[in-house]
Chain A
Amino acid sequence: MESVIEVRGLNKSYKLPSETIDVLKDVNLAVEKDRIYFIKGLSGSGKSTLLRILGAIDTDYSGEIFFDGKNIKKLNKREISLMRQKMIGFVFQDFHLLGKLSALENVVLPALFADRHYKSIRERAQWLLGRLGLEGVASHSVNKLSRGEKQRVAFARALINSPSVVLCDEPTASLDEKNTQILFDLVGELRAEKPFTLIVVVHAVKLKPDYIVRVQDKKVEVTCEV
């Protein structure tokens, strides 16, 4: 099976003034193309850390990571930006939306930098927001939205450029069961149209992934669920 992300001998630690926190140690992992991965683990185990590294947000680590066959560390800033535009959709645990912009504007933002045709971007953004039940608040400033609404806006934003890998950090944490279902239905629908890899940090969902990545004691352990 072709892998879209390959992790070899990854070590990650955070350097604080007083101490160094080792979060991940000698992690090896191959993420297969177009599969669904759930990352699980206790709070503080390093799930978000791993996700940020996989999504090329954090490049401060030792070891090697190949994204779509390219060693991330060997890419320059422009090439990484290009990769983020074309291939990666990222939903942050704390969203990182631009509060002064409307929901719709937040969603179209990545496509502006990918330099796509604005009219088609806008249509897709409206469609995504509509599918996530947000058509009523599309023009509202993001600051005014509820947490769950923000979470869905962040999700729509991650999908706007039709990336080949979508990484989500607890995208359903603030959602009720019904909206969680809507979100995963949308994922199913989009994947049926154009398959993509989905890597999600989740605690408890009814949905079954292809693989579960368990983060524990600075190590990861992948189990196949199918």
Chain B
Amino acid sequence: MKFRNFVRAFSFWNRGHWSSFFYSSIMLIISTSLVFLFLSLGFGIKSALAKIFSSSLTSGQILVSPAVNRVGFFTVEKKSSSLLDYDAALRILEIEGVVAIDSQLFCAVPASLSGHVPGIQGTYYTDVTIEGVDSSYIDDPVARLHFKRSFYDSTARILPVVISSSLLNLYNAGLAPANRLPGITPEAVIGFEANLEVGRSSITEESLPPRLFRVKLVGLSSNLSLLALGVPTEFVREANSYYHPDKPQQYSSVIVTVESPSAVSKVVEEIEKMGFEARTDSELVKRTSTFLRLVTFGITAFSLIIVISSLTSTVYTISRQISERSGQIGVLRALGASPSDLTKIFSFQVFSIAFADLLLGYTFGFVLSFALEYYIKLFLPSIYVLTGGVITFPIILLLIILLALSIIPSVTAYFIYVRTVGRNLPELLSE
């Protein structure tokens, strides 16, 4: 068929039907962009949650702590609990399969932190728990080297500290947005300085006078308890023995590294026999992964619903359009249009529209997602910082799904059409 005749036949064929094509196009574009937005958002949320819930316990590690009963926020030590002290730590180290232990020394001395948040008027004051940790809690090798400080050192030397990364998450997720404070990135928080008063808090006070230290944040750790300030172990040991010379030194938790992940369960058994609570990464992972799996399931189910419903509605619309026009197809065939001529016209139409819709939908979805990301960055910066962005673009997956979204209806339409065109002529004409 000559190109100009084809174009004319094409426009004749569609005369009076443009609006229905316009509507089905709009439908396809909207569903495409919605799927795009939803998937980007869904995957973004999933990876953000994964980031929040991730534990730095790698496989083959066990977190040992005194057996406690947890009642909401309070933890009550069990009467039968054994003391997680230096001896206990040594005994744990002796268990077959244990390679190393990193301990968190419990500080029995009350303390408080005060200072002022940069960029904001006024000062803050908060009671804190101090825990003695070793330098393995710090990522930066240089900071690791300098992670020591004696309690008895009366110079103005800085006391290096580590805080829980969960605390930063909590701040970014809750405190900052609630108080209209800016979000803080982990990078920005390093180097932060404050005053630490050891020996006194807002509720208790040691009999010996408190001491004041200038502290500087050198790292974040996800193994530290939420409201604890990690300081060098020798500092805690000295503070404990300064204020309570008779009290045994106790660990709040010990991280046990096992030689291979397969040895974990055996070691856990031994540790529990000693009367301690042992949590393994697999448990943590299991707990978070159940949640993440739920989120993933939700995302998948919801996207599937969108995809399937938009697929069926598009296929339905197109097939209805074709069957509505089977009389027209019959007339054209009676006038000498061959099925292949008609199929050419139809394929050109369906596939070009599908392609245009896909392109538009993809672009539109991209713009929507970016707009949402921009909005979050602008108005909920703390969430943005906490999660590192809630939009991700699984480009390949999106492309596959959106291609399916445009190709499946087109191909279905094509087959419906070919079948219609090939029907016997009197039957077509009678419709």
Residues of A in contact with B (beta carbons under 8 Å apart): 52, 57-60, 77-78, 81-82, 84-86, 88, 90, 92, 96-101, 105, 109-110, 112-116, 118, 157, 161
Contacts and interface: CB of A to CB of B under 8 A. Distances in A.
B341 interface: yes
B335 A84 contact: yes
Contacts of A57: 334, 425-426, 429
A88 B334 CA distance: 9
B155 interface: no
Interface of B: 1-2, 4-5, 8-9, 12, 15-17, 327-328, 330-341, 422, 424-426, 429
B5 A77 contact: no
Contact of B339 (A59, A81, A92, A105): A81
Nearest to B331: A96
B424 A59 contact: yes
Given A78-B338, A115-B2, A98 B9 contact: no
Contact of B426 (A52, A81, A161): A52
Contacts of B429: 57, 92, 96
B421 to A, nearest CB: 9
A157 B336 CA distance: 12
Contacts of B16: 99-100
Contacts of B425: 57-59
Contacts of B1: 112-113, 115
Top 8 nearest A-B pairs (CB, nearest first) are: A85-B336, A100-B16, A81-B338, A84-B336, A110-B335, A113-B337, A100-B15, A96-B331
A47 to B, nearest CB: 15
Nearest to A87: B336
A117 to B, nearest CB: 8
Contacts of B426: 52, 57-58, 60
Contacts of A101: 12, 15
Contacts of B4: 118
B384 to A, nearest CB: 53
A203 to B, nearest CB: 23
A144 to B, nearest CB: 13
